[in-house]
Chains A and B, each alone.
Chain A
Amino acid sequence: MATITAPAARRALPGLLKSRPAAKLLTLAVAAVILVPLLDSRWGSGHWPHALTVSLTGPLGDASDWVMNNRDSHPLFLYFFGHISNAVVLCVRGVYLALLAMGWVGVTALGALVAWRVAGVRLAAGTAVAFLACGALGMWLPTMQTLALMVAAVLASVAVGVLLGLAAGLSDRLDRALRPVLDTMQVLPAFAYLLPVVLVFGIGVPAAVLATVVYAAPPMARLTALGLRGADPEVLEAVRSLGATPRQRLLTARIPLARKELLLGLNQTIMMALSMAVIASVIGAGGLGDRVYQALASVDVGAALAAGIPIVLLAIVLDRVTGAAGRAADNTGESRRTVWLLALAGTAVAAVAARLLGRAEWPAGATLNIAEPVNHAVNWMTAHLYSGVPVIGGTADWAAHFTTWMLDPLRDGLRALPWWSVLLIVAALAWLIGTWRTALTATLAMAAIGVLGVWDSSLDTLSQVLAAVAVTLVLGIATGIAAARSDRVDRMLRPVLDVFQTMPQFVYLIPVVALFGVGRAPAVVAAVVYALPAVVRITAQGLRQVDPAALESARSLGATGRQQLWQVQLPLARRSLLLAVNQGVVLVLAVVIIGGLVGAGALGYDVAFGLAQGDLATGLVAGAAIVCLGLMLDRVTQPTGRAKKGA
């Protein structure tokens, strides 16, 4: 008897360990059993122990005073930052003056001709209409200011991104060093970047451009490296056997082969720069973002929308044109150059003709006032939906219930957890879904929040993120399934998703307050609106890519539509669903932070407070906590594959 059970037991243990999740949890449980009593006896089990915090108020306050007092005298500023700032101002000014010199006819013609060459007649018409719409909305000058800022920022981002990408693409060691940094930078909310640049450069265009570059360069760098590393080894071998030097190989083979990735990088950089151009209005970027921000001050949703529409139009046009450039990768030949020259000549002729006719500036009478009807519509909506709707209650009641029954218990629950158990949960989640490395990063990030002394407000923010993500996923996945199953729904949704993905959040913050009152609920709603498109897209795409053969065989076995969905499509699209969760979390965090402007409090309010009061200590600490929170949330939801596959 004994001889039989012994081997069985021996086999059972490795069996348990072989089931990897169980093994991981077991290891963690053992660690917890040893560590927790220790931690508990030393520091107690309530909130983050005060003994483990480091107050940065003093040093940060001193640093900020030093910068303020030395900005006009210290060599570091005179010979380094000063020149950077100068170069940015010169560059933006140059582009702006050029755009003004071309006049609205010239700019529209140039845009349309470039779009025509790159992407065909339909997009050219779309581009022209988009530019004319900007003028018709009375936003020509702000649009040109934003465009000038964007051109400078995108050029700088591409330069920085390509340099970093080349380094990471050619050297394995640099790649290992840069990858985690770039990965992290891409998940950080834009709001967190503002304070450090403002401190050094002060409010204004240079700070705005530099914040934009920091925000928009990482995708370029990542995709450049990816493209260089993905080059077909056989082609490279062939080029090498022809006796090409390393530099020739790079210039004639590797970079041309990576063209697709480079253009995709450009596309993403432009999109991120545009979204940052609006947020940077908080630090004096001017242009369209500033118009949105000023309209917000007088609670004028219509005016905010009038400035928001050009941003959406610019985004959609730039996205489609650069996307088309990426697809039409191998369209070479002599005729191309002459056509380009013709296009440029056409622009020049149009611009000069308009100038001679005295029409360089947008005609003052030819503007359309959309603000008034929009405001009427918004007022009507908020007046009728806010409260007292029969049976279902008004939006204000929903918001109150959501706050009382969802946000409050979540926040209080998180705060009631002993501090070490929060770390433990983070570690367990991150390890189950990723590697021990991601688990360690996530846990350290969470611990750093405690050390910074903002444990309570971070948990408040976290509770808002969790609630918003839950709502986003329910709505997003349901909509995604509908879009995947019906082409008509998909076609109807696409423009709506485009608009909501690119519309500056500032535009809908105020209607959201009018509907849901001041507090955390409107922040959650705004976050859901912003994150929903990405989740819908990724879900729909994932479901559509499920192997048709698998579906066919399920169908032939007599599975109903519902069974196909639950037992075949959703399980097979697991990767995409995980990616949707990850994206949802990252996007939600970005907006929950901005929600500090509508009463969400917590970390977002602290950053806004730091910016508004020039209080570096509060603002930077909150910014750092946001960074840690973003890092933790990303790692906890990051499927293992990304770290391994990478390329």
Chain B
Amino acid sequence: MRFRTTLSVSVAAASALALLTGCGAADMTKQASPFANAGGARSMTLSVQSWVGAQSNVAVAKYLLEHKMGYRVDTVQVDEIPAWDALSQGRVDALLEDWSHPDQEKRYVHDKKTVSYAGGLGVTGHIGWFVPTYFAKQHPDITNWKNLNKYASQFRTAESGGKGQIMDGSPAYVTHDKALVKNLKLNYQVVFAGSEAAQITQIKQFAKEKKPFLTYWYTPQWLFKKVPMTEVKLPPYKEGCDTDAAKITCAYPKTPLRKFLNADFARSGGKGAAFLKKFQWTTEDQNEVSLMIAEQKLSPEEAAKKWVDAHPDQWKRWLP
């Protein structure tokens, strides 16, 4: 009797396991998000990066896909490099704003062919060091990096110890600042704010009090409209001067931002994929939406609706 129950239990367990797992191979790089497609409509997942510009791209694309094309769009917040991996696995279908990641591009686009290039975003990105314009007006020579050491004491904070503070942002962003400070022999300490949110909050607090600060920042960025900043010129960028990350002594390049799609989605994604390939706008457009989200605190959807209502000629070109 006891033997039989044990037997039946183990048979049941084994069959449940078999049922649960199916019987063949399970390729987890082909599994979609469990929340996708839940409405029964055609659906896709867009990755959002943590900065507001990327939120604006996604908000407008999502609004058009949902209201003009009948899609249902899910969004997931992922940093760029993990987003490449998620894109390759098909967990997300699109990455709309990539700031140049040659290693990932080689691995996924050229070697594995799981990700495909989907055209430019139309926006050119640039990273640099910035001081507030109110400070640059008082001290015009600050805009040359050679004079930075002269002002180091004014940029001192509790975190930077005896040196000047240059504030860096999220760990997800491309940065050579530690190497730059060392190689250009600057009397500065790189302080990592750890997230863009923390960095923006701190910049706003400094600006409210008209305090001097030096920060890693980038364009296009909505914050320039609220806190005008002037770039400090680093030694000019030349092709290839940033190949050895430890020995860098030059500025950051200007990067045309690009879009990437999951390769399967690009092939068989129908109108949605065609739309995302055509999606292209300007820095001004992106900033307009970003300001609505970040400063007026509209929800991304409301901001996208306002922009879409105001620029019908722009987006009609994107519809397939």
Contacts and interface: CB of A to CB of B under 8 A. Distances in A.
- Whether A and B are associated in the same complex: the answer reads yes
Interface of A: 68-69, 71-72, 75, 77-79, 81-83, 85-90, 92-93, 96-97, 100, 145, 148, 198, 201-206, 245, 281, 283-284, 286, 290, 293-294, 296-300, 302-303, 371-372, 375, 382-383, 386-387, 396, 399-401, 403-404, 408, 509-510, 513-514, 517-522, 595-601, 604-605, 608-609, 611-614
Contact of B2 (A75, A81, A245, A281): A245
A518 B25 contact: no
A406 B81 CA distance: 37
Interface in B147-183: 157-159, 161, 167, 170-172
Interface string B71-87: 00011111101110110
Contact of A93 (B34, B77, B209): B34
A281 B77 contact: yes
28 contacts: A72-B29, A78-B25, A81-B28, A82-B25, A83-B22, A89-B31, A89-B32, A89-B34, A202-B29, A202-B85, A202-B91, A203-B83, A204-B89, A204-B91, A284-B77, A372-B297, A396-B205, A408-B161, A513-B201, A517-B157, A518-B199, A522-B198, A597-B198, A599-B192, A605-B194, A613-B172, A614-B82, A614-B85
Nearest to B82: A203
B194 A596 contact: yes
A145 B33 CA distance: 11
B307 to A, nearest CB: 16
B55 A519 contact: no
- Among A96, A198, A518, A609, chain B packs the most CB atoms within 10 A around the CB of A518
A92 to B, nearest CB: 4
Contact of A519 (B159, B200, B205): B159
Contact of A71 (B29, B82, B158, B193): B29
The 6 closest A-B pairs by CB, nearest first: A82-B26, A612-B172, A93-B34, A609-B171, A78-B25, A403-B158
B201 A290 contact: no
B22 A300 contact: no
Report which residue of A93, A148, A203, A401 has the largest number of chain B beta carbons within 10 angstroms of its beta carbon: A203
B159 A510 contact: no
Contacts of A302: 297
Contacts of A600: 194
Interface string B119-161: 0000000000000000000000000000000000000011101
B197 interface: yes
B171 A297 contact: no
B202 interface: yes
B198 A298 contact: no
B110 interface: no
Interface in B18-73: 20-22, 25-35, 38, 48, 50-52, 55
Given A297-B196, A599-B194, A605-B192, A204 B33 contact: yes
Contacts of A601: 191-192, 194
Contact of B79 (A78, A245, A522, A612): A612
Contacts of A404: 158
B297 A205 contact: no
B85 A612 contact: no
B34 A598 contact: no
B225 interface: no
A510 B197 contact: yes
Given A293-B77, A519-B158, A286 B33 contact: yes
Most chain-B CB neighbours within 10 Å: which of A81, A88, A521, A597? Answer: A597
B67 to A, nearest CB: 13
A68 B28 contact: no
B308 interface: no
Interface string B239-268: 000000000000000000000000000000
A303 B301 CA distance: 13
Given A201-B28, A510-B198, A612-B172, A403 B159 contact: yes
Contacts of A299: 197, 200-201, 294
B35 A518 contact: no
Nearest to B91: A204
B191 A296 contact: no
Chain A interface, DSSP helix/strand/loop, else mixed: helix
Interface of B: 2, 20-22, 25-35, 38, 48, 50-52, 55, 74-79, 81-83, 85-86, 89, 91, 107, 112, 114, 157-159, 161, 167, 170-172, 191-202, 204-205, 208-209, 293-294, 297, 299
Contacts of A284: 76-78, 82, 86, 91
Given A514-B204, A608-B195, 19 more contacts: A78-B25, A78-B27, A83-B21, A83-B22, A86-B21, A89-B31, A203-B82, A203-B83, A296-B195, A296-B197, A298-B55, A403-B159, A408-B158, A513-B197, A514-B201, A595-B194, A597-B195, A599-B159, A599-B202
A99 B78 CA distance: 26
A402 to B, nearest CB: 8
A396 B33 CA distance: 43
Nearest to A297: B50
B172 A598 contact: no
A302 B298 CA distance: 11
A387 B209 contact: yes
B26 A86 contact: yes
B30, B50, B82, B161 pick with most chain A CB within 10 angstroms: B82
Nearest to A205: B34
Nearest to A92: B34
Contact of B89 (A202, A613, A614): A202
Contacts of B55: 294, 297-298
A286 B76 contact: yes
B157 A400 contact: yes
B173 to A, nearest CB: 8
Contacts of A206: 28, 31
Given A71-B29, A605-B171, A96 B38 contact: yes
Contacts of B157: 400, 517, 519
Most chain A CB atoms below 10 A, which of B30, B85, B200: B85
Contacts of B31: 85-86, 89, 204, 206
Given A148-B34, A614-B82, A518 B172 contact: no
Nearest to A291: B77
A514 B86 CA distance: 33
Query: Which of A399, A599, A614 is the most central at the interface, judged by chain B CB atoms within 10 Å of its CB?
Result: A599
B63 to A, nearest CB: 15
A375 B299 CA distance: 13
Contact of A517 (B52, B78, B79, B205): B205
Contacts of A294: 48, 55, 75, 77
